[in-house]
Structure 1
Amino acid sequence: MNWQASWIWSGMEKSPRNEWRCFKHSFELRNGGIKEAKIAITADSRYVLHVNGKQCGRGPIRSWPAEQSYNIHNVAHLLQEGENTIAVLVMHYGVSTFQYLLSQGGLLAQLDVEMASGQILTIGTDERWLTAKHAGYDTRSQRMSTQLGFSESVDARAWDENWKRGTCASGSDQWVRAITVGKPGDEPWPSLLGSPILPLTEEPVWPVRIESLKETTPVSFTTAIDIRNAMDPGSVGHANPVSFVGYVAVVIRASEETEATLGILSRFHALRGISLGGEYRAASDMEGEQPERYARLRLNQGDNLLWLDFAGSDHGTGLHFGIDCEVAFELVSPPFANNAEEDSSPFVLIGPFTTHESIDHRDEVHPLSGYEGFGGSKALDEDAFEHFDVYKSFRSVREVAGLSRFAALAKPIPNSLVSRASMFARSIWKREERSLLIPMNLQSACMANSEPAVIISRTGSETELILDFGKMWSGYLRFEVDAPAGTMLDFYGYEYMKDGWRQDTYILDNTLRYVCKEGRQTYESPVRRGLRYLMVTVSNTTRPVKLYGVQLLQSNYPVAEIGRFHSSDTLLNDIWEISKHTTRLCMEDTFVDCPAYEQAFWVGDSRNEALVNYYLFGETDMVKHCLELVPGSRFQTPLYTDQVPSGWSSVIPNWTFFWAIACLEVVEHTADTTFAKEIWPKVRFTLEHYLDRLDDRGLLFIRGWNLLDWAPIDQPRNGVVTHQNAILARTLKAAAKLAEAAGEASQGIRFEEASERLAAAINEHLWCEERQAYIDCLHAEGRRSDTISIQTQIIAFLNGIAEGDRKSRIANYLAQVPDDFVQIGSPFMAFFYYEALEELGRFDLMLDDMRENFGQMIEHEATTCWEMYPDYADNRPNPKMLTRSHCHAWSAAPGYFLGACVLGVRKASVGWRKVRVAPQPANLKWARGAVPLPDGGRIDVAWRLKEESGGRRFELEVHAPESIVVEMVAPKGYEADALLRRL
């Protein structure tokens, strides 16, 4: 790309929090037709591009600041003779997330137009462009979660959307010239890389029905406070957990004495309790269905001191809370707080009381992890932090006057960290609600219909509709409405409900507020959301509101659904379908763990997700892109982080190991030796650092997040973890093969030998003769674990650690898991279990496990695969909670194994030039389907069992491209009637 444009921004703040900034430039095209026109564009943090009022692009894809990605959009069809306008909305986060690292605001765009005459016209961002802060977006809207950016609250009355067309009826005085903040190649974006993947889809999806209709009364007051950023302002620069001890105080000024209810509407573990007028209530003693917590309190007429007690670790959830009572009240600052500044909220921070550095467990794996020795109901260690006596004495404060002696420690919390209202809290906490009959005309009007849904709200009440989109989806909300100015529409998306119970997203603010201008209008959100159900609350309207439709623009990587599976077992067919839908939804610009809560690229998850994708869609470019992103985290740690690109400097060693294995698997899948040569030095780099951490016994001894499964395996954050060592042994063997593919076989010898030594050390130190099984771990102090888990046995078996009698014994455990072993807790772990069962040839057990564990998802009407099994669902704060995330790509194992095992399609050579088709019927009668090939084309398979007087026969028909060598094998005990057809 021959860049002639400059990076531009405003002359205001370098990296503003949650800023929505508009840029535009008008130009003329004369004398001749347009042959071709493309815009190369990127922004920090995200952009939406319009040409002559037409939206034509979003981006950029997630990338490291040091390798900033840009997209190229074809726009020739949008340009016209005469005046044209390029308009770009840039959303700058101003905080680090799990897919973005804090940098600075900026826009870089260049339009290159080739005229029919041969003339080339180049228009790039520079000082001639105009910019203005979008006045319609509330910069005080709350964080969605620590993984994501901000929810949105937009007032359509405050900004003229004609700016996208180059004209504005109002607000023209807010537009100023942009300033240049750098040239391409300047810091903080020293390298610019064109996107290696295709643009994502945008497919309109309509609701399938209205789930419920209610008349509701809202609570008096709600808000959300970014406690993490208030306690540690520097935390905007990273996404690590922050530990703190301190208080937040505010004065409630009531017009008269009354009963009130205070509600906590988020899973905020650092909140220890609240105090109103000296009455202290521990968080654990508050009422409500966890994690919602409520306290009934007495407000006196006049000033009432409320303070909240915090001690613990917070990862950025945000504190959503509210106050409800029958009388008028307002929140005011304590009189000593010195927060007369315009940007100060009424809330005051007392503290934080800092921890001693000596116990702040810092290391290269979790460089900013913070002190985790307290939190929730755990007792505070008086030696843990400074000024404990001051912290303790504050607890005796009962009235406003008592705060004066703490004035030196008090500071106002800025308005920017306090939302005007919490739409999440308003959505899930209603003072009153009354169910209404859903008229059939309203039901049909909310679907794809030209007639509007007419919504009537009484004065003082709100109307709530819950729309069911039929399945989980992920993308951008769009709606059209006719309403009076000032009407408020609140949208809240969530994943699951059953029999009137709703699983609210307490660690995700999945909301949008839209304040209407007068008349008919359309709005399309630039914020990605995942949901199945959408609550729409209409309030503050003076006449009936006409809702012409709500859609979700489903957005994912553009894959063809080449894979097929259909069999004599309808339950397995349904399980395959939800595996396919899950994987598709979790393919964005990278694989993501889930479309709702995090939308993060978890490195280890993607190994299994890539394999599932190969059998469903056959996509390889995105897989390589994902794998190439991982080494970018080496500036955070040479061990590579577990999600990228991310501000959370977290390492799960197994996730790095799975990444290295996935690098080999994509090379074997595609025969791409160029990729092998490029990725090999990066694999070698991190594995060498892991080998440096082997102890005197030859075992990996490491402090980190030593995770494999959500089940209660003994997998401490410091010590020798058996499954981790076993996976490392397999990874070292994979590295040797990758080195050979890269033409560096001699370098791989070291890793092959290291693998053998590690396997021997595992067998020497981590086997328990008494239990005849591998123990889970050796703790840091040397204590041998008493825990035996099936997870550890699976990994030892699968990765070649167990041999001889030990391997035979473990094989028996896999066939009949002992009751006293820790059981599998997630579908992610089931993937490795199925790999082991495949090696054993126990396909019957594999299908039975799918029927039991994935079958319960189908029983609960799941349309996507759950993150975990119900017994391990985040300790199940509510028994109705079946899992945290209802759509998790790491859980889609059947999408792979049903094609690889039941259809029996496997590559027999690198790059799939040879294919082996050896179906495993288990207890099925017939099956048919298709598996994609990496270079295009597919393998179609259909088989059927026949029981005849002359014996058992196996009818097998395979369709394959002429260039593919196919070996067809019947199951044991059957005679084959095999037919090969060429596509």
Structure 2
Amino acid sequence: MDWKAAWIWGDGEASPRNEWRCFRRTFDVPLTGAESASLKITADSRYVLYVNGTQLGRGPVRSWPFEQSYDTYEVGHLLKAGEKNTIAALVMHFGVSTFYYIRGRGGLLAQLEYGEGTVAVKTDSAWITSKHLGQHPRSPRMSCQHAFAEYVDASAWDSAWIDSEYDDSEWTNAVVLGPAGMEPWTTLKPRDIPMLTEETVYPVRVESLTKFKSFRLSTAIDVRSVMVEGSEDHSNVVEFNGFIATTIRASRSAQATLGFLASGECLKAFSVNGEIIEMDRLYGSLPERYLDVELKAGDNLLLIDASGGMHTGKLQIGVYAESPTELAFVSPLPRFGEQSAFCSVGPFDAVVHLDHQANRKLDWNHEFYTELLGSVKQAGDLETYGEWLRPIALKYVSEADVFSLSVWKKDSVNLAVPAQLQNAVIPNAEAGVVPVYEGFDSEVLLDFGKEYSGYLTFEIEAAEGTILDWYGFEYMSGRYRQDTFGLDHTLRYVSRSGRQSYVTPIRRGFRYLALTVRNASAPLRIYGVSFSQSNYPVAEVGRFECSDPLLNDIWEISKHTTKLCMEDTFVDCPAYEQTFWVGDSRNEALVSNYLYGVQDILKRCLRLVPGSKHQTPLYADQVPSGWSSVIPNWTFFWAIACSEYYEQTADEAFATEMYEHIRFTMDHYLLKIDDSGLFNVKGWNLLDWSPIDQPNEGIVTHQNVFLAQTLRVAARMGELAGDAEGAAKFDAASSRLTSAINEHLWDEEKQVYIDCIHADGRRSTVISMQTQVVASLTGVAQGDRKTVIDGYLFNPPEHFVQIGSPFMSFFYYEALAKVGGVGLILDDIRKNYGNMIVHGATTCWEQYPNFRENRANPDMLTRSHCHAWSSAPAYFLGREALGVRSLVPGWSHIEIAPVPCGLEWARGSVPHPSGGRIDVSWTADESRRTMTISVSYPSDVAVSIKLPEGYSGYIKETKLERV
């Protein structure tokens, strides 16, 4: 690509916090020569592109800043020959690192070409720009994984800015930053996957109508950025000791409620007007805690010990008092002038944690820190700590915390939903009218029927200044709503007068959407609410049906979950994180192979991982990310996925490309083998959420076992790449490690592999199914030991730690399939996934309900209700029950070997990686031990069809010629 365009931005900060900036370029299009035109574009952090008022696309895909991706659009059909044309772009610069973005600087790069490369328009100083004046940059962080919630005032910005006729005379010329190839975007790479879909879906009904009161005063403070300098440049865990101070000004004395909804962060202790509040006085359960307090007329000092270790570091405060009491946050020290109403005391110490490195211990006994809360009785006492006393900049303090305002309800009254209000969810119907209740806010709850991931659109008619607070969440059951503490996916929209529509540029995932209408002087009319489901484009080639309706329902939710978690990479979940977790994607890819058969998404996932070597040679567990975190198993699963990609496609060139990266990281992992011959590392040593013994320092058995397998994979990849010496080295290392595992980590008396050896040399007394499963699956357990271990697979002893997540179940099912346990796989799927169906699941849960974080609230069944690492049934039902599996790389020889396991019939399809599909239909009579199988497949594929052992029957084959 020959870039003539320059990177551009506006005046001001290089990397402003949460800034939306608009760009325009109006130009003449010749009468001829522009019929074929392409526009190449990229931006930091994300853009929405318009040509002559038509939204054309969103991007770019996530990428390392030193490998910035750009998109190419065919735009000839949108250009108007002989007329003025306009390219417009909204660029949303985060200004902070997230779990899917590393902070760069604000920038836009675009180039329009006619025909064979004639540059017609390029980003330069002729482009004009303006901040999006209706967007509030002080909206809260969504979470450590995401950037910011959304707050838009429609009356402050003309939505026609994308049109050619728009008056942009008050805009300014863009500032040229430098040429393509400048820092930090030193390499530009073309997008390597198709554009994502935008499929319109609608709510299925208005679930409820409620009137209620909420906090009169609320805010969210980015304490992390205040306390730890440079923390906006990364997403690592930070730890600090320090305080936040403000005054709550009340127009009269009043009974009030203080609420703290910060997901357990930033509230270690606090005082009100000098009185230390014992934490047992608070009611509510974590993460939401409340205190009823008497506010005096005038200023009330609130001092909060916000110390601790945290990722997000957001302090959410709400204050309620009955009208006519007026409330305001006011700075306790007026000398700080134009800053916010909050000040910080500290930090007295702070540290950034990297979980794969040694980290300095925080000094929790600093004398000023330990004494401060008791010594500050009034605002003036803060001056004693003048050396550590600082105003908090306005940019870190939100005007309102919409999440808290949506979650906390007082005097709530549920109302029957008028039939006319259901019009709000029916396309092209008359408007649904949201009534106004004096002294109350009105909430309309919409149900989309199942979870989706994408972009919200709505059309309304409202009085000027009406506030629409939109809040999406995943699950409810009866009166219970699972509020997304730790995730703020809210949108505040302040309306202008009249009929208007809005399309959000921020991706969200939810099933239920609560709309709270505030400050309305007239009823709100809703003409439509819709959602653009956005995912990697797939055809639903894979199919499965059988005689068990429960398994059919489970297969369907597995399919939908997988689709929702295919964005520009595989992601863990569409709501909480939208993060490419490297280890999760291995299992997700296997499921996708049996559903959709697409490969480019996995290829780009695998290629992204080695880019993290600048963070750690052990490779990070989520990429590209500002969190420099290592889960060794996730690196191992990445290498295994590289090998499985070769098995799926027979792409030797890609295997060779990936081997170089596998060799690099495996060489560094081998440096972590200790004198005992075992892998011993400090890191996030995770496999399952259940209470197995997997300390972050020491020798963890499951990691050693998976490393042994990964070294064998590295040897195999080395052979493919022609590196005989490297292959021999890794094969020998695997053998040595396997021997060491069996020498040091087997308990002969208990006939089990222990979970770990702690850093102090203690042998773990914990026995887990997880450790036994992976020992069987990887072949580390051999001979008599494997016989014993395989027995545990069929009859898990009750005193073993049991499997705690569907992710771990995937490995369990793999191990069972190897030893003839398909019937047990189906029974386990029915039990655990059937429980999801019983509770109304439309997608697969992240955890099983016995997970420790859920036990405090019996209604909370799981954290995320849509998590693709849990989609195992769609893979195993196709591979084992339908019986379709490959025997050689590239699927040129496949086997059809169904296992009925009590099913009377099954039918379905599995995509072939070279195109086409394998269709299988079978019926079985278990009492007569007979089976009929019908199969169709591409004619260039060799097929071996096997009846189950002991069965007789009829086989029909149909070969299909490829086009």
Q: Match for 1:759: what amino acid?
A: T
Shift of 1:11: 2.1
> Quick check: 1:565–1:929 contact (8 Å CA) kept in 2?
yes
Shift of 1:679: 1.1
> Quick check: 1:590–1:622 contact (8 Å CA) kept in 2?
yes
Matched ranges for 1:641-656 at <5 A: 641-656=620-635
Q: Distance in 2 between matches of 1:762 and 1:329?
A: 68
Matched ranges for 1:700-719 at <5 A: 700-719=679-698
Q: Distance in 1 between matches of 2:330 and 2:252?
A: 19
- Residue 356 of structure 2 is matched in structure 1 by 365
Shift of 1:405: 1.4
Per-residue deviation, residues 842-881 of structure 1 (Å, max 9, x unmatched): 1111111001100000000100000010101524331110
Q: Distance in 1 between matches of 2:342 and 2:354?
A: 34
Shift of 1:65: 0.4
Q: Distance in 2 between matches of 1:335 and 1:209?
A: 48
3-state SS in 2 of match to 1:147: coil
**Which residue of 326, 336, 340 maps to 2:337?**
340
Per-residue deviation, residues 198-238 of structure 1 (Å, max 9, x unmatched): 00000011001111101222321111111111111310000
How does the TM-score come out when normalised to structure 1? 0.96
Q: Match for 2:657: what amino acid?
A: E
**Which residue of 841, 844, 853 maps to 1:874?**
853
3-state SS in 2 of match to 1:751: helix
Matched ranges for 1:135-174 at <5 A: 135-168=133-166, 172-173=169-170
Instruction: Quickly say closer, same or farther: Cα 1:18–1:370, change in 2 above 3 A.
Output: farther
- Residue 308 of structure 1 is matched in structure 2 by 304
Q: Does 1:103 align with 2:104?
A: yes
Q: Distance in 1 between matches of 2:251 and 2:460?
A: 38
Shift of 1:391: 3.7
Shift of 1:745: 3.5
**Which residue of 448, 466, 469 maps to 2:427?**
448
> Quick check: 1:475–1:529 contact (8 Å CA) kept in 2?
yes
Shift of 1:120: 3.3
- Residue 260 of structure 1 is matched in structure 2 by 256
Q: Does 1:487 align with 2:466?
A: yes
Stretch of structure 1 that moved more, 541-550 or 716-725:
541-550
Shift of 1:259: 1.0
**Which residue of 319, 328, 339 maps to 2:325?**
328
Stretch of structure 1 that moved more, 964-973 or 452-461:
452-461
**Which residue of 963, 971, 978 maps to 2:940?**
963
- Residue 64 of structure 2 is matched in structure 1 by 64
Instruction: Quickly say closer, same or farther: Cα 1:390–1:631, change in 2 above 3 A.
Output: closer
The number of equivalent residue pairs is: 958
- Residue 86 of structure 2 is matched in structure 1 by 85
- Residue 819 of structure 2 is matched in structure 1 by 840
Instruction: Quickly say closer, same or farther: Cα 1:605–1:370, change in 2 above 3 A.
Output: farther
Stretch of structure 1 that moved more, 951-960 or 629-638:
951-960
**Which residue of 225, 231, 235 maps to 2:227?**
231
Q: Distance in 2 between matches of 1:850 and 1:124?
A: 55
Shift of 1:461: 2.1
> Quick check: 1:488–1:515 contact (8 Å CA) kept in 2?
yes
3-state SS in 1 of match to 2:37: strand
Shift of 1:294: 0.3
Stretch of structure 1 that moved more, 521-530 or 275-284:
275-284
Shift of 1:741: 2.0
> Quick check: 2:854–2:860 contact (8 Å CA) kept in 1?
no
> Quick check: 1:25–1:166 contact (8 Å CA) kept in 2?
no
Shift of 1:542: 2.0
Q: Does 1:280 align with 2:281?
A: no
Q: Match for 2:285: what amino acid?
A: E
> Quick check: 1:575–1:855 contact (8 Å CA) kept in 2?
yes
- Residue 295 of structure 2 is matched in structure 1 by 299
Q: Distance in 2 between matches of 1:903 and 1:482?
A: 53
Instruction: Quickly say closer, same or farther: Cα 1:251–1:736, change in 2 above 3 A.
Output: same
Q: Match for 2:321: what amino acid?
A: C
Shift of 1:257: 1.6
Matched ranges for 1:622-641 at <5 A: 622-641=601-620
- Residue 380 of structure 1 is matched in structure 2 by none
Per-residue deviation, residues 588-628 of structure 1 (Å, max 9, x unmatched): 00000000000000000000000000000001111010000
3-state SS in 2 of match to 1:930: strand
Q: Identity over aligned residues, as a percent?
A: 53
Q: Match for 2:304: what amino acid?
A: L
3-state SS in 1 of match to 2:643: helix
**Which residue of 908, 914, 919 maps to 2:898?**
919
How does the TM-score come out when normalised to structure 2? 0.98
- Residue 864 of structure 1 is matched in structure 2 by 843
Q: Distance in 2 between matches of 1:947 and 1:240?
A: 56
Shift of 1:185: 1.1
Q: Distance in 2 between matches of 1:244 and 1:436?
A: 46
Shift of 1:385: 4.3
3-state SS in 2 of match to 1:611: helix
Q: Distance in 1 between matches of 2:317 and 2:835?
A: 35
Per-residue deviation, residues 58-95 of structure 1 (Å, max 9, x unmatched): 00000000000001111111110210000000000000
Instruction: Quickly say closer, same or farther: Cα 1:113–1:742, change in 2 above 3 A.
Output: same
- Residue 38 of structure 2 is matched in structure 1 by 38
Shift of 1:418: 0.7
Q: Match for 2:108: what amino acid?
A: L
Q: Distance in 2 between matches of 1:167 and 1:93?
A: 30
3-state SS in 1 of match to 2:690: coil
Shift of 1:313: 0.6
**Which residue of 486, 490, 497 maps to 2:476?**
497
Matched ranges for 1:715-726 at <5 A: 715-726=694-705
Q: Distance in 2 between matches of 1:119 and 1:912?
A: 40
Per-residue deviation, residues 540-562 of structure 1 (Å, max 9, x unmatched): 22222210111110000001100
**Which residue of 558, 575, 592 maps to 2:571?**
592
Q: Match for 2:134: what amino acid?
A: G
CA RMSD of aligned residues (A): 1.6
- Residue 27 of structure 2 is matched in structure 1 by 27
Structure 2: gaps of 5 or more residues: none
Instruction: Quickly say closer, same or farther: Cα 1:545–1:31, change in 2 above 3 A.
Output: same
Q: Does 1:752 align with 2:743?
A: no
- Residue 825 of structure 1 is matched in structure 2 by 804
Q: Does 1:790 align with 2:769?
A: yes
- Residue 378 of structure 1 is matched in structure 2 by none
Instruction: Quickly say closer, same or farther: Cα 1:412–1:947, change in 2 above 3 A.
Output: closer
Structure 1: gaps of 5 or more residues: 374-383
3-state SS in 2 of match to 1:584: helix
Shift of 1:273: 1.9
Shift of 1:284: 5.3
- Residue 191 of structure 2 is matched in structure 1 by 195
Matched ranges for 1:392-411 at <5 A: 392-411=371-390
- Residue 473 of structure 1 is matched in structure 2 by 452
Instruction: Quickly say closer, same or farther: Cα 1:4–1:498, change in 2 above 3 A.
Output: same
Shift of 1:362: 5.8
Shift of 1:340: 0.5
Shift of 1:333: 4.3
Q: Distance in 2 between matches of 1:854 and 1:723?
A: 25
3-state SS in 2 of match to 1:463: strand
**Which residue of 562, 580, 584 maps to 1:583?**
562
> Quick check: 1:252–1:329 contact (8 Å CA) kept in 2?
no
Per-residue deviation, residues 479-518 of structure 1 (Å, max 9, x unmatched): 0011121111110000000011100000100100111111
Shift of 1:899: 0.4
Instruction: Quickly say closer, same or farther: Cα 1:317–1:888, change in 2 above 3 A.
Output: farther
3-state SS in 2 of match to 1:443: helix
Q: Distance in 2 between matches of 1:31 and 1:465?
A: 51
- Residue 127 of structure 1 is matched in structure 2 by 125
> Quick check: 1:95–1:238 contact (8 Å CA) kept in 2?
yes
- Residue 245 of structure 2 is matched in structure 1 by 249
> Quick check: 1:67–1:190 contact (8 Å CA) kept in 2?
yes
> Quick check: 2:241–2:369 contact (8 Å CA) kept in 1?
no
Q: Distance in 2 between matches of 1:860 and 1:103?
A: 43
- Residue 780 of structure 2 is matched in structure 1 by 801
Q: Distance in 2 between matches of 1:235 and 1:289?
A: 29
Instruction: Quickly say closer, same or farther: Cα 1:362–1:486, change in 2 above 3 A.
Output: closer
- Residue 74 of structure 1 is matched in structure 2 by 74
Matched ranges for 1:667-816 at <5 A: 667-816=646-795
Q: Distance in 1 between matches of 2:300 and 2:603?
A: 59
**Which residue of 385, 389, 401 maps to 1:422?**
401
